[in-house]
Each structure stands twice: as C-alpha cells, then as structure tokens.
Chain A
Amino acid sequence: MSAAPSSVAPTAAPAPPDIPVIDAPSVPFVEIEALRAEQFIPAAKEALTSLLAEQAQGKLIRPVFNWAGRNSLFPLHWGLACCAIEFASMFSARHDAERFGVVPRSSPRQCDLMIVNGTVTWKVAHKLITLYEQMPEPKWVIAMGNCATGGGPFRTAYSVVPGVDKLVPVDVYIAGCPPRPEALLDGILTLEALIRERGE
C-alpha cells in the first residue's frame, strides 16, 4: 500500500452554491474507497453527522417517513361514549379502516393518533392528558362528534369539558351525533392530507 495516511487527509469538498457551509463539512467522498477499514467508520460517522447528511435527511428521509406515517395512523383503542360504537364499526368488514393502514393499538406508546370519541368529563380530563402525553411524537388528535368538539348537548353541564381542545391540541373536528363511520373515515383521510401538507 503506497497510500500513506497523509494522502487521505480530509480535503474540503466543493460546496454547491445553494448550500451554506458550516465549519467546512470535510467529508472525503472521493477517497472513501481508498480508506482502510479502521478509517472507514469514523469517516462514515462524520459524513452522517455533517450538514450534507442533515439536508439529505430533510429532503429524502423525511418525506419517506411522512408517507409511511400518514398511511399507517395507529389510533388509540379506547372509547368514551356512544361514538365508540361508530369507531368500532369503522374497523368492521363493511368499512374496513385497515385498508388505509388504520389499526387500533391498545397502548398509547404504540399510537400516533388519538380519536376522542365521546363526552369528556372533568373527571376523565387528566387521564386523557396523561394518555396524550404518553404517545410518542409526532402525534395527532381527532375530535369525533359534537361532545368532543364542543361539549355537545352537555355544554353547560357541571361535569363536562366544553370541547376537548381545551385539553389537547386538535387537528380534525368531525361533526355528528354520532358521526357515521364514513364520516370518521373522511376525517382520517382529511388528517392524512393535512399531514402531507404540513410535511411533518
């Protein structure tokens, strides 16, 4: 091997004009094949953590994650009131929400979507917040039905939260008392379009 270690010293890569260079991300792309095995891993690490890798992550990996995430929304499998019946029938054979990748999960740690299906009382409010905080980011909330949207017929009652958006941020509201499963499917597809639009 005539290549001395000094010949593979990092040289400044020519930066494209539209990418700002911070502290000269010196990634030896050209000479990377000439590196020995013990030199390859530190160089690869440097490449992954460099600015170019971050931009590649933003332009290539994030859209893939967005596409995968919005087509596999996992809602939390819980029910608060009669809207839960419509929620359940959305997963039945006639409506078959699984063709959109919507699969209910029983643990909030496996979910990225919370469908608040029913009347939220003040007693259950902090349990709902706890469940929401246990869900990993990114996460979305659908307020299903009139009760979750604004309290519904119980809006002035002494025990009912007048709209779940007082507790957690809501992305999609679905009207109805209760909404039919088609309306819930439409809300989920609206949320998918919203996620695509936001690029989360």
Chain B
Amino acid sequence: MPTEDLATRLRAAAPETTATVEPLPGTDGRLRFPPDQALAVFRACQGVLGYRHLSMVGGIDWVDHREVFYLVWSDETRRYLMLSSDLPLPAPHIESATAVWPSANYHERETWEMVGIGFDHHPDLRHLLMPDGYQFNPLLRSFKLHEPEELEVKVRHV
C-alpha cells in the first residue's frame, strides 16, 4: 500500500490522530504518532488497515528522549508496517497495546525491563528476563559494564 493511501485511510479510520507516514524500505512505511494517540492508532491499524499480527515491540534510548516502536504484519497484503512514537523524559510511558494485540504482553514486559519505558494499563508488567528486584535497565546508554560485584542483586526472595 502506498504511503499516501495509508495516511488517508488512517485519517478516515481515526480522524483525531495526527500521525504521519514516511517511507521505510521493505515495509509499508513508518507511521509516527504522538504517544497520547496510541490507542486510537493501534485500533485503526489492527481493525481497518488490517495489520492483525504484532510482530515485535522494541525501544531505543536516544539519550534526550526514548522511542518505542511496533512492527505489525498484515496477512492480506503480506507487508509489514512500523509504528513508532517519541516519548519525552523523564518517565517515558505509553498506553499498552495488549488490549489490541494480546501478543504485546511479553514484548512490552521486555521493553519495560530493558529500556525503561512504562506501559500504562498493562495487565502483568513485571520482570521477564531478569529476577524480581533487579534495579537496572541494561539497554540504556547510561548503563555501564559493571564489575561483577557491583551487579549482585538479591536473588533469594522468599
């Protein structure tokens, strides 16, 4: 689907959104939206635009802000679409996509744990790869490789 058509169809499906679509090679495009319009964009993409499958969720630490992105897949056109949103510091957070794509659950837990992006109304936001009580976000650029002794966490929790 050409990017102009995509932008037009998104506006028709969700008139309140101010999302913009820019070309991204190999996909239908890269849809950038403000974080407060997240749920409307998710619903429009999953419903009218037909991107039924959420392939991955990830986060990027741009030091002055953070970015969250979603890669969604359409079975009809067999094409990917990337959704991305810039989240301001401090306390970057966005609405959870689990109400629209249930498979976002684990991906958002990982993104929350590794990049420190909060997901509002997530049903089960807890550690995925790290033990409970882990106090770092290892994929942030401010995270340095530590001496092993500094990284000891409380592993014995009753």
Contact = CB atoms under 8 A, between A and B. Distances in A.
Q: How big is chain B's contact interface, by range?
A: 10 to 19
Contact of B143 (A123, A129, A158): A158
Interface residues of A, number: 14
B147 A159 contact: no
A180 interface: no
Most buried by A among B138, B145, B155: B155
A125 B148 contact: no
Given A123-B130, A123-B131, A156 B156 contact: no
A127 to B, nearest CB: 10
The prevalent SS among residues of A at the interface is loop
B59 to A, nearest CB: 16
Interface of A: 122-123, 125-126, 129, 151, 155-159, 162, 166-167
A122 B156 contact: no
B148 A155 contact: yes
Contacts of A159: 129-130, 138
Given A122-B131, A123-B130, A158 B138 contact: yes
B156 to A, nearest CB: 6
A155 B152 CA distance: 12
Nearest to B149: A162
The 9 closest A-B pairs by CB, nearest first: A162-B148, A158-B138, A125-B155, A156-B145, A126-B155, A122-B131, A123-B131, A122-B153, A122-B155
A156 B147 contact: yes
Contacts of A151: 148
A125 B145 contact: no
B131 A125 contact: yes
Contacts of B138: 158-159
